[in-house]
Amino acid sequence: MIKIRPIAPHEIHEAKELIYRVAHQVFRDTRPLQESIAYYESKGELHDMDDLMQTYFENKGIFLVMTDENQVIGTGAIRRLDDATCELKRVWLLFEYHGKGLGYRMIQELLAFARETGYRRIRLETDREGQRRAYDLYKRLGFYEVPRYSDNADDVAMEMVL
């Protein structure tokens, strides 16, 4: 049975590995997976996950996992940008679970959290080409492009009024 719930501390490593594994496929990384993980870890790619409590839970945010039985199959998070704005982060789902409405379900849980927390708008960054399916889903949900708000030149920024 598929469940969505806040991440437990012992699941952080598994969640990071899931994100790296899915990104490895999405971006067609030619390196072996473990080499790719070591490279991106050395760059601090998922540094926000090193202290989930401070980055998310203690800062008007949340980090959720989606599980099938006891296996983490997806992730998603909300983090605070300012009092009115939050950011959708770390929405990743194992490929074998794509096309079943589960990504949509995760995003709906996160949007509900954002609204309940009092945010008025939500932003995200995504790679329009490399993550075309995610980009198209965000557009269908009502996100629209806005000027970039970070230094990540490869991504497009999007926003939605809550």
Report all structural domains of the chain as residue ranges with CATH numbers, in order of start: 2-161 (3.40.630.30)
- Tens digit of pLDDT per residue, the chain (162 long)? 999 999 999 999 999 999 999 999 988 899 999 999 999 899 888 999 999 999 999 999 999 999 999 899 999 999 999 999 999 999 999 999 999 999 999 999 999 999 999 999 999 999 988 888 899 999 999 999 999 988 877 899 999 999
Share of the chain above pLDDT 70, in %: 100
pLDDT at residue 130, rounded to an integer: 84
Contact yes or no for 39/46 (Cβ under 8 A): no
How confident is the model over 106-149, as pLDDT tens digits?
999 999 999 999 999 999 999 988 888 899 999 999 999 999 98
Which amino acid is located at 61 in the chain? Answer: G
- The conformation of residue 31, written as its DSSP 8-state character, comes to S
What stretch of H or E contains 77?
A: strand 71-80
Residues 115 and 122: their CA atoms lie apart, in Å, by 9
* φ and ψ at residue 45, rounded to 5 degrees: -55, -40
Q: Are 156 and 126 in contact (CB under 8 A)?
A: yes
Q: Looking at residue 90, what is its pLDDT?
A: 97
